[in-house]
Amino acid sequence: MIGNGNVALDVARMLSKHADDLLVSEIPDNVYRALKESPVTDVHVFGRRGPAQVKFTPLELRELSHSKDVDIILYAEDFEFDAESDRQIQSNNQTKTMVGTLTNWIAEQPEDLSELTASRRLHLHFLHSPVEIYGDNTGEAGDPGRVAGIKFERTELDGTGNARGTGEFVDYPVQAVYRAIGYFGSSLPEVEFDHSKGVVPNDGGRVLDASGTHVPGIYATGWIKRGPVGLIGHTKGDALETVTYLLEDRDNLPLAAAPAPETIVELLENRGVQYTSWEGWLALDAHERSLGEKASADAGAEGIQRERIKVVPREDMVEISRGGVAAEV
Ligand SMILES: NC(=O)c1ccc[n+]([C@@H]2O[C@H](COP(=O)([O-])OP(=O)(O)OC[C@H]3O[C@@H](n4cnc5c(N)ncnc54)[C@H](OP(=O)(O)O)[C@@H]3O)[C@@H](O)[C@H]2O)c1
C-alpha cells in the first residue's frame, strides 16, 4: 500500500482483517467471499515522509490495532524526527497523538519479531519513496506479467517538513500494489475548472463562471467543491450547505420560472433513468434487514448475527425499491 493517508489505512485494514471479523459490518456478500479466499499474510504500508508527517488521523490509526489476529509491526530505523517534526508535534494535537500512538506501539513491540503470534501482520514503514514496480516476466509480448516486487528509495527529512532521497534503495517482494496517494478532480465540459486546485470554482456550492457569477442551476458539493480533504462528517456538512443554497435559489425564482417537484420525475422518466424515491429506499432498507434477520436465524443464537445483507447489483436494488420481487442474493 503506497501512501500515508486515511484511504491507505482503510484499505490496509480491510486487506489484513480476517473476513469473518467483518461480518458484524454491512460488508456485501460478494466482498466477504472474495476476502474469505484471500491468502494474504503480510500487508505493508509505505509513507515517503516520517511519522510526524503522516496524513491519516488518530481515530483511523487506533482502529488498526483493533483487528483480531493481526500484529502491527514498526521499524525503529523509520522513526526519524528533526527540529521541524518536533515543531509539528508541539503545534498540532493530532500529530502529537499519532506520534504518541506509533511510538507506544514500537516500544511495546518485542525485539525478536518471531515472538509475535498473529497469523497476519500489518507493517507500517516510513521514509520510503516508491521508484519501480517489478513484474514476474510471465506475460507475453513485453507484458511484465504479475507484480513480483517493488523498489523504494530510502528518504530522510530535509528540515522543512519534506523528505529527500538518500541514494539507498531497497526491494520488497510483493504480489500486489495498491496506490492511495490522494485524488485530483476532473473537469466537466462547459463548466469552469480550477486546474491548480482540481475543483470547480464555487461560492458555498453555487458554481461560478469565469467572471465569478453564479451559473443558474449548477451546484457543486464534495471533493469537486473543496478538494479531496475531510472526513465523512465534513462532506455531509458540505452537502447540506450546497442544498440549502439550492433550495434558497429555487424559492427566490419568479413563480412562473420555478419548476414543480414532479417535473424532476417526469424528466427522469423521459430519459429512461432508473431512479428510486425515498419510499423506495425505505423498501430496499427493509428488504436488506429482513435478509439479515433470516441469515441470523439460520446461523442460530451462537452464530454471527447480521444486521442486514446488502443487495449489490444496481438493477436488483432498483427493482426491489420499486416493489419488485426480491432477487436472489
Ligand atoms: N475515515 C474517514 O473518514 C476517511 C477515510 C478515507 C479518506 N478520508 C479523507 O479523504 C481525504 C483523501 O484521503 P487520501 O488518503 O486519499 O489522501 P491524503 O490524505 O492526501 O494522503 C495521500 C498520501 O499519499 C502520499 N503521496 C502522494 N503522492 C505520493 C507519491 N508520488 N509517492 C508516494 N506517496 C505519495 C502523501 O504523502 P505526502 O504527505 O508526502 O504528500 C500522503 O501520505 C483525506 O482528507 C482523508 O482524511 C477520510
Domain boundaries of the chain, sorted by first residue: 6-173, 202-258, 278-321
Rounded distance from Cα 42 to ligand 1 centre (Å): 21
* Mutation choice for ligand 1 from 1, 2, 4, CB with most ligand atoms inside 8 A: 4
- Ligand 1 pocket, residues with Cβ under 6 angstroms: 2-8, 10, 47-49, 55, 57, 60, 130, 180-183, 228-232
Rounded distance from Cα 6 to ligand 1 centre (Å): 6
Q: Is the distance from CB of 59 to CB of 233 less than 8 angstroms? A: no
CA-to-CA separations, 280 to 27, 55, 261, in angstroms, rounded: 21, 39, 17
Nearest to 51 by CA among 13, 116, 105, 11: 105
Parts of the chain with a pLDDT under 70? 256, 324-329
Dist. CA 153–CA 167, nearest whole Å: 7
* Residue whose cell numbers read 513484474: 135
**Smallest CA separation from ligand 1 atom 17, residue:** 182
SS3 content of the chain, % helix, strand, coil (to 5): 40, 20, 40
Say what the pLDDT of residue 261 is. 81
Say what the pLDDT of residue 229 is. 87
Nearest to 225 by CA among 188, 250, 252, 264: 188
**Smallest CA separation from ligand 1 atom 34, residue:** 3
Which ligand 1 atom is at minimum distance from the Cα of 54? 43
> Has domain 6-173 been given CATH number 3.90.1150.10?
no
Rounded distance from Cα 55 to ligand 1 centre (Å): 6
Say what the pLDDT of residue 274 is. 86
Say what the pLDDT of residue 324 is. 63
Dist. CA 11–CA 28, nearest whole Å: 16
